[in-house]
Structure 1
Amino acid sequence: MKAILQFVDYKVLNTVYKHNPALDDKEFEELNPEFEVTLRLTKEDHAFIKLSIEFGDKKVQETSLYVYAQIAGLFEFESEEEISNENKKELLQVNGLAILYPYIRSLVTDLTSKGSNEGVILPTVNISEMLRNELSKEDKPFNISNQQD
């Protein structure tokens, strides 16, 4: 049985890594990652998800590091029945993000391990739960915007 949402590929769009070794001796840094997600549907049953993560202090004065990473995933919808745009968006938000998150998680670990003794390992997450929690917050650092061709 073939899934309706097919993952085709992903690309790294942007990375920024800053490290201040003078602040490495801090016992615990609260980095509070912020995510941004952009979904785009095309007319040809393709979809793109841009997933960004950002944490730390851009000037690396408050925290020992700053990381920004952005990836884009390409997906296709394959179904013998017509799928509504609302259902496509729901599939992308939950399943598409669940597919892409490990890639950005690995990218962050690899990027941060190059400049310090230990890489930052983001926790595994339940995407459905994260979406529910983040979308219900008043001040939403987790943004989802939809675009359509």
Structure 2
Amino acid sequence: MSAPIFEFKGYTINNLIYSKSKIEGMKFTDPDENLEFEANHGFTDDFSKGKLGLKVQLASKENDSFLILEVDGFFDIDSGLLKDDEGNERDISDVHHIFIVNAAAILYPYLRSIVSMVTGLDNSNNIILPTINLRNLSMEN
């Protein structure tokens, strides 16, 4: 079995806003109808560390509560990410794609849990994000 190409080191919550009144100037989505979120990522110059940021802006079904959440996940990256199975250098776009898809698959459950926990503290109608297929994420960003 080969060694993992990156290791999850943890996450931080950069922004968390929960409000009973709509926040002006913000677009909110109902996660049951059309879940939208933003993703951004970056690497150190030597590709030894990576960061993935995820942001959601959600409204409850009843439109009576609103949540903005931004989290960053941090990863140590093995040099194996830069090479394919034959040991050849990977195209940089492939490196980004592999990182985004896999890092999002690791970080999204934390984002999902935070949304459920925070909205559940207020009432029993907490917002539960769906499980999603993240394979096409990097193609959309």
Q: Determine which structure has the larger strand proportion and give its number.
A: 1
Q: Which amino acid aligns with 1:43?
A: D
> Runs of 5+ in structure 1 lacking a partner?
21-29, 136-143, 145-149
| 8 Å contact from structure 1 (residues 33, 54) kept in 2 | no
TM-score by length of 1: 0.71
Shift in Å, 1:4: 0.8
Work out the CA distance in 1 between the residues paired with 2:50 and 2:120: 32
1:118 pairs with 2:125: yes
**RMSD of equivalent CA atoms:** 2.4
| 8 Å contact from structure 2 (residues 82, 95) kept in 1 | no
- Identity among equivalent positions (%) equals 27
> Runs of 5+ in structure 2 lacking a partner?
22-28, 84-89
Shift in Å, 1:81: 7.5
Please point out which of 29, 32, 42 is paired with 1:40. 42
**Pair 8,98 (structure 1): closer, same or farther in 2 beyond 3 Å:** same
Where does residue 138 of structure 1 map in the other structure? none
Shift in Å, 1:10: 0.8
Work out the CA distance in 1 between the residues paired with 2:119 and 2:81: 44
Query: How many residues matched?
Result: 121
TM-score by length of 2: 0.74
**Pair 81,128 (structure 1): closer, same or farther in 2 beyond 3 Å:** closer
1:109 pairs with 2:116: yes
Shift in Å, 1:120: 1.1
**Pair 81,10 (structure 1): closer, same or farther in 2 beyond 3 Å:** closer
| 8 Å contact from structure 2 (residues 5, 81) kept in 1 | no
Please point out which of 99, 104, 118 is paired with 1:92. 99
Runs (4+) of structure 1 exceeding 6 A deviation are none
Where does residue 5 of structure 2 map in the other structure? 4
| 8 Å contact from structure 1 (residues 14, 69) kept in 2 | yes
**Pair 63,88 (structure 1): closer, same or farther in 2 beyond 3 Å:** same
Please point out which of 58, 71, 79 is paired with 1:55. 58
**Pair 65,88 (structure 1): closer, same or farther in 2 beyond 3 Å:** same
Q: Which amino acid aligns with 2:65?
A: L
Indicate the structure whose relative CO is greater, using CA pairs within 8 Å and at least 6 residues apart: 1
